[in-house]
Amino acid sequence: MRVGILTLHSQLNYGGVLQAWASQTALERMGHEARVLDRWQDPRNLTLLGPFGAARSAAVRNLLCEALAYGQFGAFLLRHWRTIRFVRRRFRLSPYHFYRWQDVAGRELGVDCVMVGSDQVWHCGDWGDPLPYLLEGAPHDLPAIAYAASFGMREIPEAWREHFRAGIRRFAAIGVREAEAVELVARLGGTATHVLDPTQLVPAKVWRERLGLRPKRGRRPRLFCYFLSENVPAAWPHLEAFARRTGFAVEIFGADTNFVRRLPPKALFRHLADLPRRTLSPVRVRLSSGPREFLQALANSDAVVSDSFHALMFASLFGKDVRILRPRNAGRQAMFARIEEFARLYTQGPVVADDLPAALTSLVAGETVAYDEPALEAARHRSLDWLRKALGKAVGVPTRQG
């Protein structure tokens, strides 16, 4: 079967890009011909292209940032380029891109069925446009299922509810990433099944082999940090003290690359004056890494500290001791149920930490996290079986039991 994957693949976020690759790989391992539908999240695809797609008027500002940040912006450019290269080389993209479903009118998609998800494709309100992922404006005869689709919120804003009710009816079968989303779909008039994130459907061995992840070199232990909302300058002293006490090398990914631009003059001066000392620090910020380099570092780490759901997914795949920081802002708190749920079902130990100092204290104390591999393997089997049957249902193909 030719399956088109409609997800948030065209972006810079590591988890978003890698979950799309996992969806493609999982479908191929099931024997399907998978294709990622090249839907852009904005008309100019700036979520992926970034400075490479910016207007010429931004050139002076970017060069000034490069000078003030001592090469940080250049490293950020390299991250964009490596992500663009990953998307173009690792994905089997549709023959054309589109932003709205109206752009597809009169053109062949070349697929038998569309699979929407995973990631927070159905988030709306403060950010996100769920309408393309609810198939609003899509061809009416296009068979579709949703796999591991996520809302990232506990309630649908009233202004969006009718869009969601109409969209839910478009899917032959719906799998969602969080248990609470099952209830949310039910309140919208649909039926959903709780399934695993697609990153969990691809074994660690396959990740290593297909992405060419190299084994760890050197004996020094490594702490992998991936921060989406943590303040990196504020976190630095805690991580540096941890590194000097334990002998760990610390790598920070997902850092806010624009924080230099927003610093007031006095703070900017302190930042620039402190750069020589930081070059000798055991803590490193990796601004230039693409998705493959990100996963390479995580797979070769000894411990993981993050505020990211996908960091937890990959930590579990590669068997890493992990701490996930409890979010402080309301938006990310609404998304935290998926992390607590996974920790409760499949792990033992202090996965969730109240803050960065608490996470580092736990690691220093020798506390560890273990995974319930039999339970995870059973969940993978159920999720793959559900996906196989859902695809058959969408196109009217009978499926065997088992």
For the ranges 67-81, 138-152, 167-181, the lowest mean pLDDT is seen at: 67-81
Measured distance CA(164)–CA(144) in Å, rounded: 15
What does the pLDDT read at residue 333?
Answer: 77
What does the pLDDT read at residue 263?
Answer: 60
Q: Say if strands 144-149 and 174-176 run parallel, antiparallel, or are unpaired.
A: parallel
Fold (topology level) of 2-202+377-395: Rossmann fold (3.40.50)
For the ranges 110-124, 157-171, 260-274, the lowest mean pLDDT is seen at: 260-274
| Mean pLDDT on 178-194 | 96
List the beta strands (DSSP E) in 235-381: 249-253, 283-285, 303-306, 321-325, 347-348, 352-353, 370-371
| Mean pLDDT on 302-323 | 97
Whether the ω angle into residue 383 lies within 30 degrees of 0, i.e. cis, is: no
| Mean pLDDT on 389-401 | 80
Q: Where are the domains of the chain?
A: 2-202+377-395, 209-371
For the ranges 20-29, 43-52, 77-86, 188-197, the lowest mean pLDDT is seen at: 43-52
pLDDT band at 268 (very low <50, low <70, confident <90, very high): low
What does the pLDDT read at residue 402?
Answer: 38
What does the pLDDT read at residue 52?
Answer: 77
Measured distance CA(175)–CA(187) in Å, rounded: 15
Mapped onto helix, strand or coil, the DSSP state of residue 367 is coil
pLDDT band at 230 (very low <50, low <70, confident <90, very high): confident
What does the pLDDT read at residue 262?
Answer: 56
Are domains 2-202+377-395 and 209-371 of this chain identical in fold? yes
Going across the sheet that includes 303-306, the strands are 283-285, 249-253, 222-226, 303-306, 321-325, 352-353
What does the pLDDT read at residue 234?
Answer: 87
Q: Is the pLDDT of residue 245 over 70?
A: yes
| Mean pLDDT on 139-155 | 94
Pick the CATH number of 209-371 from 3.30.70, 3.30.9, 1.10.3710, 3.40.50: 3.40.50
Q: What is the pLDDT of residues 17-60, one digit of tens each?
A: 999 999 999 999 999 999 999 999 999 998 998 877 765 555 56
Measured distance CA(351)–CA(368) in Å, rounded: 9
Residues 233 and 72 sit within 8 Å (Cβ to Cβ): no
Q: In the predicted model, what is the mean pLDDT of the chain?
A: 90
What does the pLDDT read at residue 106?
Answer: 85
What does the pLDDT read at residue 107?
Answer: 92
